[in-house]
Amino acid sequence: MIKCIIVEDEVLAQDVMKSHLQKVERFKLVGSYRTAPEAMEALKTHEVDVMFLDIRLPGMTGLDFLQSLVNPPLVVLTTAYAEYALESYELNVIDYLLKPISFERFSKTIDKIVDGRLFTGTGKGMGLKAGDHIFIKSNSKFFKINFSEIVFVEGMKDYLKIHTTENTLITHQTMTDIEKILPARQFIRIHKSYIIAVAHIRSVYGNSVEMGRATIPIGINYKEKVMSLVGGKSK
């Protein structure tokens, strides 16, 4: 379930957004708020995946509010004024909806979120994919990870450990989910519990792959694939 909030000072506009959300699956509306301070409190007390944020709010604009957040959720901006479009995209928002918002246009935004163009997978740790990086949800935050930084991914039942050059993140996601997200040219699955980055391979020997300081086992069903990668033959 994708949890969201609406930050909008106009009651009619709130009602339109609520009506649209009721027509789509996998979205749960946590709450609706009229001002930035109200929304700030909501973000502190609720787990929020997506925020539908109006630009013109009383007291503080939506853009100023967004810039004040250290770890914002994914954001869809809503406004009646097209002139804010360029500034909004510089803040890496998901989409920019001009009022009045038709359900057809709203549906396109939802498609970006749930159909694999932004959110990918169905678990609580869904990944946001965009070009050369992915956003991974861990401990109620979305962390941006460049594909080049990922050393290997370790599966643990319904969770994953994503080992990067800087740290390790744990996310509620499956190996099948992450395998669909990672670029096939850059990553290879070598075990039912491991996906590794080709760029970070130090050596392949016996039934193991050396990845930095870690040694990863090669599963029997993946040996031929690994040896083909390095130009050798499996025995």
Whole-prediction pTM value? 0.54
Q: Residue 130 has what pLDDT?
A: 47
Q: Residue 217 has what pLDDT?
A: 95
Q: Residue 151 has what pLDDT?
A: 95
CATH 3.30.300.130 fits 125-230, yes or no: no
Q: Residue 235 has what pLDDT?
A: 54
Domain boundaries, the chain: 2-115, 125-230
Angle at 137 between CA 135 and CA 142, to 5 degrees: 60
Tell me how far apart the alpha carbons of residues 119 and 215 are, in angstroms, rounded to a whole number: 31
Render each residue's pLDDT in the chain as its tens digit; 235 residues.
788 999 999 999 999 999 999 999 889 999 999 999 999 999 999 888 899 999 999 999 998 999 898 778 888 999 887 766 556 555 667 788 999 999 999 998 888 776 533 444 444 444 544 457 887 877 667 788 889 999 999 998 778 899 999 888 888 878 887 888 888 888 999 999 999 999 999 999 889 999 988 999 999 999 988 888 877 555 5
Q: Give the phi and the psi of residue 147 in degrees, each rounded to 5.
A: -55, -35
CATH no. of 2-115: 3.40.50.2300
* C-alpha 216: how far from chain center: 26
CB of 149 closer than 8 Å to CB of 164: yes
Q: Residue 123 has what pLDDT?
A: 41
Size of the chain, expressed as the number of residues it contains: 235
Q: Residue 202 has what pLDDT?
A: 93
